[in-house]
Every structure is written in structure tokens, then in C-alpha cells.
Amino acid sequence: MRTSLPMFMGLGLLALAPMQAQAGGADILKSQCSACHALSKPASVTIDDLWTRKAPDLWYAGDKFNKDWLVAWLQNPTRIRPAGYPYFKNVIKGPKHDEIDESKLKPHVHLAKADAEAVADALMAMKPDGVVQKGIYKGGSVNMRMGAMTFDKFRGCIACHKGADGKGGFSGAELTDAGKRLQPDYIASFIKDPQKIDPHIWMPTLAMNDRSIQMLTGYLIKLSGQEKK
Amino acid sequence: MRHQSLLLGGIVLATLAFSAVQPASAADTKIERVYGTYCVQCHGLKRNGTGVNLPALSVRPRDHTDPKGMGSLPDDEIFKAIKTGGLSVNKSVLMPSWGGTLNDKQITEMVHYLRTVCKCGH
């Protein structure tokens, strides 16, 4: 009697397995990803809700990621956030400063090529209105020295993000290859107002003028070797 | 088994009922948790300026447990530093502005909270 529930679930999984092999991207997202990632916009978000999150939201993925990066990363996921997500659940007191509790950071599920492509297609179709400001990034030439000074010194982005040569802080996403992972308009929109895209996120709104937003976005894109034609 | 599932059902129902009455407003988040979300990344779990980002910072974050250093700051300077950032009080840009993230009520509450952390109430 006691084993009946797990056995029933096991049978359910067996029955599901052959279906999944040919399932579309949206089905894979629902069955394998929705336990950790939000796939539709939550009705409301509070600071307390951030503490129940297991992973970054994906409901605006089509406005966020570059498809090539998605297809490759889903097959071979690497660490993006040095302290995992959310960082505050994975830090512990250390002798000199707080440290990352590596035992809490589990490897990400990876997908076979065909599934990765199907999921990337489904994710790229998720483009809700009003999250990202379309056309905000103008492109143009980038002064890498000024960009680096702004990122490291004038604006202190480096406090939370790894930038050039992988140097920087641990509580934000690594930005060393942000231009490969993220769309330019997403980068610029996020820098302009992180709270508009991800309410209550622990990146501050840094009252930036358009020149700084353009410069930092161009800098991050060029830093990843992703020059805009 | 029947007893077990009854019990289980009871727990599930109780949990559902409980979560339905949980406050949903951001302003209701406990101030310790606000600190734990935004400030801990630099000021640290010990609140003494030793957050996980410390190795990347060229200026040490303020030790919020130090009665002397914190005691020398008036409430309005602490409020200003949090709302509009380090630069606005002639300190480092590495102390960000949180006025776009926290409302004035939360920042006022944070100032009171910091006074309990440093045990240096004004």
C-alpha cells in the first residue's frame, strides 16, 4: 500500500517518456522547466516572492536572449551567476567575507540538440509587450577605454558583475560575454531601469543618462566580441 | 493509509488557507529581509562590510555594526546615502542609490533598523 503512490508516479513517468522524445519546445518547457522557471508573467511580485524563486524568469525570453546562444547553452550549460540564483540563498559567512556555498549550486539540466533547438524556438516566441524598449540601443562606435572606466570606476557595475577578464563581483550575472547571451535592446533597457523588467530585483536603478546607457551597452557587446554591423 | 491521506489532505488545506491570507504588499516585507535581499551582497550577512562582493570592491562597505562609525552619521545622512547613493553624501559611488527600488517608508524603516544593528540609536 505504501509503495502505491511512487509506483503510480513511476508508471506515469514511463508513459510520459516516449511522448517527450517528440514533444514540441513548449511541452518540454512545461514538463521539464516550469518547476523552476516562471513561463508566464506572475500576477504580482513582492520581495518575499523573490525568496521563493528557484531560477530567473523566462516569460520574456524572446526579448532577452540571442537564439544561437540559447541553442548552444541548453546543450552545454555553464555557470552564469557565480553565486547561483538567487544569490542570497547561497551565501554563508566566511572568515574574511561571505562565501558561496558551492554545495547548493547544482548543475543545470541539459538537452539533446533537437530538443535544445525546439525549446529555443519556443523561448524566442515569448515576447510580451512592454518589457523591453525596442530600438533603445542605437549602435555606433564604442570607446572601449571609456566603457571600461565607466563600468569599473564611474558607475561601479563591477561591484556585482564580472566584466573584462572575468574580474568583478558575484551577486549579479556574469557580463563578460553578455553580448553573446543577451540582445542589445535588452541590455540597454535593463541598465536604464532594471526594476521595470524585473520588479524588486537586487540591481539598483542608477539614474543614467542616455549617453552612459549607449556607452555601457556598446562596451558590453564589444567586450564579448559581438560587434554590431 | 486512510488516516494518512486524511492527515495529508488536512495539511494541504491548511497550507492553502494559510498562504491565501499572507500579505501581498511589498511594503509588508520585514526590513531584515529587505536588508538580506539588497544590502547583504556588499555589507554582508554579518552586516560589518564583508559581503560576498567584497573582493571586487575598491572601497570597503560601511561596517553597520560599528557604534562609533555609524554613531557619527546623522539619520538624514544615512537616509540620503541609501536613497540617492554614496556620491550624494561625498562617499564612494560603490554605495548605489536605492531610491528606485525602495520607497521612502522602507528607507526610513531601514535607518531605524541600522540604528538597532549598530546599537547607536539617536
Chain mean position to CA A43: 20
pTM score of the predicted model: 0.89
Which amino acid, one-letter code, is at A184? P
Please name which of A46, A195, A67 lies closest in space to residue A126, comparing C-alpha atoms. Answer: A67
Q: Buried (b) or exposed (e) across A176-204, using 16+ Cβ within 10 A?
A: bbbbbbbbbbbbbbbbbbbeebbbbbbbb
- Please identify every stretch of chain B with a pLDDT value under 70, giving residue numbers as ranges: 1-28, 122
Given this model, what pLDDT does residue B28 score?
Answer: 66
CATH fold of A17-124 reads Cytochrome Bc1 Complex; Chain D, domain 2 (1.10.760)
Distance set, CA B83 to CA A47, B77, B107 (Å): 18, 10, 7
Ordered by where they begin, the domains of chain B are 26-118 (1.10.760.10)
Q: Which three cell numbers stand for residue A153?
A: 570606476
Q: Give, for B122, the enclosing helix (H) or strand (E).
A: none
Which amino acid, one-letter code, is at A187? I
Distance of alpha carbon B61 from alpha carbon B52, whole angstroms: 11
Given this model, what pLDDT does residue A226 score?
Answer: 72
Q: CB of A88 within 8 A of CB of B44?
A: no
Distance of alpha carbon B46 from alpha carbon A63, whole angstroms: 38
The string of pLDDT tens digits covering residues A31-90 is 999 999 999 999 999 999 999 999 999 999 999 999 999 999 999 999 999 999 999 999
CATH 1.10.760.10 at A144-223, yes or no: yes
Q: Does B88 touch chain A (CB under 8 A)?
A: no
Chain A nearest-CA distance from B75, in A, is: 21
Given this model, what pLDDT does residue B10 score?
Answer: 44
Q: Which chain A positions have a beta carbon within 8 Å of B51's beta carbon?
A: 91, 97-98, 171
Q: Which chain B positions have a beta carbon within 8 Å of A44's beta carbon?
A: 24
Contact between chains at A97 and B44 (C-beta distance less than 8 A): yes
Distance set, CA B117 to CA A79, B65, B85 (Å): 35, 6, 20
Q: Does B29 touch chain A (CB under 8 A)?
A: yes
- Please identify every stretch of chain A with a pLDDT value under 70, giving residue numbers as ranges: 1-23, 227-229
Q: Buried (b) or exposed (e) across B49-64, using 16+ Cβ within 10 A?
A: bbbbbbebbeeebbbb
CATH topology agreement for domains A17-124 and A144-223: yes
Given this model, what pLDDT does residue B29 score?
Answer: 84
Rg (CA), chain B: 20
Domain ranges of chain A: 17-124, 144-223
